[in-house]
Structure 1
Amino acid sequence: MTHSTRIGQRIRWLLVLSLLLYSVAALAQTGADADHAGMPASEVGAKLTVGTKAAPPFVIDTDGRYSGISIALWQAVAERIGVTFDYAPTTLPGLFSGLEDGQLDVSVAALTVTAPREARIDFTYPFYSTGLAIAVPAGGSRVWSTVERFFSWQFLSALGALAVVLMLVGVLVWLFERRANAEEFGGGPASGLASGFWWAAVTMTTVGYGDKSPRTLGGRVVGLVWMFAAIIIISSFTAAIATSLTVGQLSSGIRGVEDLPGARVATISGSAAADALTDRGIAYQARDELDQALEDLAARRVDAVVFDAPLLRYEVLERYAGKLDVVEGVFDRQDYAFALPQGSDLREPINRAILEYLGDDDWSALLTRYLGAKH
């Protein structure tokens, strides 16, 4: 065998060996791709930063340890697509701004899919559909509630202001009449002022018993002005007193969204509930957290709280049983989903994992665990 023949054989063996090594490497890469269920190469092995915010029962924060419906679903999804992650607690606005500025890779909470939000970030396939609900004070004794309203600050303030006005008018009449009309407005200062107060009251209410009437020019001028002014004043005070008596009835009278206009409504700033109320032209008081809104409702500082139905029901059942009720029915459909940065490569693999999990019995069991049989 010549020298050139031996060299040719060696070259052929080297080529065969190279092809074998390449084939093994290709097979190994194919297996790895299959294990990651279509994950992009840039995400394989990366640790994600997952933004979250307490929103029981979807996100429950127990001293930095998270549980709940959204958390359990995300952990199942992360396991299916083969990613690791760290939670990053933030505010509701932070769950969206963090995706925009690159601080977060995914936001997991009770996030409602809305058109304005979709314009800023991407959402995954929705995993839960619900709506907005209304929490009101629990119904109590109507008789006791009526008695309470008669001793409310609004009612007593209206009566106090009316008494001051009557006393001022009574003082003026007494000053003019105390000497010239001593039989009706005379006597000591206490007796004279009481007579003036009585005359101002019966004149304002147009009862006019006729037992007292001014006789001097100054007294009659005061009487003439007071008769016309009283028409306006009595209307204003009647409205104020009526408001103080009926404002306490608003909560028990709220049976749906159509009853909210004119009531003192609270919701969470920046939430989908706030947007829904704005779209309907319903004024509301903004709170930073649901806890704050429900505390104000329990203290009767507001008449109703509007927010996502499952979150309201969970909080009322856990913390305000017997004090607050959630009105039956919902309005304005809400779809919950995970949030992602615009154009994220994670969207497709997460969507497939969500759809797979929603078809499992584990998903139904999870909802029953946190929301009860009627979920």
Structure 2
Amino acid sequence: MPNRLIARLLLCLLLFTPLADANQPEPHMQPTLRVGITEVPPFVIADGSGGWEGISIDLWRAIAERQGWAFEWQPMGFSELLQAVEAGNVDVAVGALTMTAERELLFDFSHPFYQTGLSIGVARAPKTGLLQSLKALFSWGFLSVIGGLALLLLGVGFALWLVERRRNPEQFGGTAAQGIGASFWWAAVTMTTVGYGDKAPVTFAGRLVALIWMFAGLIMVASFTAAITSALTVSNLQYQIRGPQDLPGSTVATIDGTASARYLSEERIVGQGFTNLTDAMRSVTAGETDAVVYDRPLLQYRNQQLGRERLDLLPAVFDQQLYALAVPTGSSLRDDLNEAVLRVTESAEWRLIQRAYLGEQQ
């Protein structure tokens, strides 16, 4: 009897032992990583069909493939992303996160994968040359100045003709059209100080008109010269900006709550905040602001999409910044993530990723 009982116990143990082993997780299985992202082209871009692409997205996919990590995207706003990684609600944050001392106190960064800085965009300078000069001469502003001047000359000529037509018919006589035409000619040559001497008033009233017009002509010539210069010039405040040292005194567009807005505030530069980069860049094209300051790769990407409204991006890069991935403080992923970031960014694949979104000029 005791032997049967022992045998039954051993049989039950053998039957239930495989079931217990089958319910145990495999030692090499890893949980699906929660990857927090926020849209910030060209690093994180919604493709319009529920998917994601961009520099940081392609970087993370290459890292996950190398490491054999399964993951799921968790899109959220930028401030929410920072709070999520700080609280450990995501395993890694992917985007265009700038490494700062303040953020390092809240969570950990990987090795940087992208070095950049702020850059300046200004309205495109018009092409110079004979054709552009002729276009300026036939602009509405320039033609309106010419029209106003012609009306003024006609008015002065008409006044002179009224006082000279009877006592000086040899020079200002004939029909009304002939007399006014002669007076118009006299007013023009007098204003330009040419004074051919072929016509001159002889009455007191006529000479008084001539004296007034001589002094007024000096002012008119100066004003006319200024109008021509203004119409033909190819430089204005926007085109005089050649670097960050030229920004003081200008109105500069940027995005509220970003590193660029903080830079303008620290440098006491007048900034006009916008909610998105495209509107900020278009404000420069429209002449509402003199320049835009923002992260260079983001300016490059948006500039490619503006078409005829495209800006000139100055070559100077200042206020250097480093982009990195972020993980909760003390995350076990950090060491493997650092190694993977270095391997991917040292590969030819990384250069192709950047070129695909930013073009040849990095």
> Normalising to structure 1: TM-score of the pair?
0.59
Q: State the Cα deviation string for residues 3-48 of structure 1 (Å, max 9, x = none).
A: xxxxxxxxxxxxxxxxxxxxxxxxx9xx9xxx78xxxxxxxx9978
> Normalising to structure 2: TM-score of the pair?
0.61
1:222 corresponds to: 209
Q: Is the 8 A contact 1:309 1:330 kept in 2?
A: no
Q: Is the 8 A contact 2:63 2:341 kept in 1?
A: no
Q: Distance in 1 between matches of 2:201 and 2:283?
A: 51
State the SS of the aligned residue for 2:321.
Answer: strand
Q: State whether structure 2 residue 356 is matched by structure 1 residue 369.
A: no
Q: Distance in 2 between matches of 1:184 and 1:113?
A: 83
2:152 corresponds to: 165
State the SS of the aligned residue for 2:193.
Answer: coil
Q: Distance in 1 between matches of 2:176 and 2:248?
A: 46
Alignment of 1:1-375 (within 5 A): 50-53=37-40, 55-56=41-42, 58-63=43-48, 65-73=51-59, 85-88=73-76, 95=78, 110=96, 127-131=113-117, 132-134=119-121, 137=124, 142-247=129-234, 256-257=242-243, 267-270=253-256, 290-291=277-278, 307-315=294-302, 320=307, 326=313, 329-337=315-323, 346=328, 349=331, 355-361=338-344, 364=347, 365-371=349-355, 375=362
Question: Residue type of the partner of 2:317?
Answer: F
Q: Distance in 2 between matches of 1:244 and 1:195?
A: 30
Q: Is the 8 A contact 2:167 2:203 kept in 1?
A: yes
Q: 1:374 to 1:232 in 2, by over 3 A?
A: closer
Q: Distance in 2 between matches of 1:221 and 1:183?
A: 19
State the SS of the aligned residue for 1:129.
Answer: strand
Number of aligned pairs?
Answer: 320
Q: 1:373 to 1:145 in 2, by over 3 A?
A: closer
Q: Is the 8 A contact 1:170 1:196 kept in 2?
A: yes
Unaligned runs of 5+ in 2: 1-23
CA deviation after TM superposition for structure 1 residue 182, in Å: 3.0
2:7 corresponds to: none
Q: Is the 8 A contact 2:164 2:206 kept in 1?
A: yes
Q: Is the 8 A contact 1:50 1:87 kept in 2?
A: yes
Q: 1:85 to 1:337 in 2, by over 3 A?
A: same
Question: Residue type of the partner of 1:62?
Answer: D
Q: State the Cα deviation string for residues 244-292 of structure 1 (Å, max 9, x = none).
A: 11127999x8794389679999754546567767877888988765556
Q: State the Cα deviation string for residues 111-142 of structure 1 (Å, max 9, x = none).
A: 66789x98xx9995654222415466488673
Q: Distance in 2 between matches of 1:261 and 1:222?
A: 50
2:17 corresponds to: none
Q: CA RMSD in A?
A: 5.4
Q: Is the 8 A contact 1:52 1:108 kept in 2?
A: no
Higher mean displacement: 139-148 or 278-287: 278-287
Q: 1:162 to 1:324 in 2, by over 3 A?
A: same
- How many percent of aligned residue pairs carry the same amino acid? 35
Q: Distance in 2 between matches of 1:247 and 1:129?
A: 35
Unaligned runs of 5+ in 1: 1-27, 37-44
Q: Distance in 2 between matches of 1:162 and 1:310?
A: 50
Q: Distance in 2 between matches of 1:217 and 1:307?
A: 68
State the SS of the aligned residue for 2:115.
Answer: strand
State the SS of the aligned residue for 1:214.
Answer: coil
